Amino acid sequence: MLLAVDPRSSVPLYEQIVGQVRAAVAAGVLSPGDPLPSVRQLAADLRINPNTVAAAYRELERAGLTTVQRGQGTYVAALSDARRDDERARVGRVLVARLVDEARRLGLTPDELRAWLDEALAAAALPTSA
Partner DNA sequence: GTGGTCTAGACCACT
Partner DNA sequence: GTGGTCTAGACCACC
Alpha carbon of 84 to those of 23, 71, 95, 125: distances in Å? 11, 27, 17, 24
d(CA 18, CA 60): 6
* Residue 19 or 50 with smaller CB distance to a copy of itself: 19
- Residues 37-76 close enough to bind DNA by CB under 7 A: 38-41, 48-49, 51-52, 54-55, 57-58, 61, 68, 70-74
d(CA 48, CA 12): 12
Beta carbon of residue 68, minimum distance to DNA (angstroms, whole number) = 4
Amino acid code (one letter) for 78: A
Q: Which stretch binds DNA (CB under 7 A): 5-13, 24-32, 76-84, 113-121?
A: 5-13
DSSP label of 29: S
Question: Rule CB under 8 A: is residue 106 a binding residue for a copy of itself?
Answer: yes
Q: If residue 42 lies in a helix (H) or strand (E), which one and from where to where? A: helix 39-46
Q: If residue 32 lies in a helix (H) or strand (E), which one and from where to where? A: none
Residues that bind a copy of itself (CB under 8 A): 7-8, 11-12, 15, 19, 22-23, 26-27, 62, 67, 69-70, 72, 88-89, 91-93, 95-114, 116-117, 119-121, 123-124, 126-130
Residues that bind DNA (CB under 7 A): 7, 12-15, 36, 38-41, 48-49, 51-52, 54-55, 57-58, 61, 68, 70-74
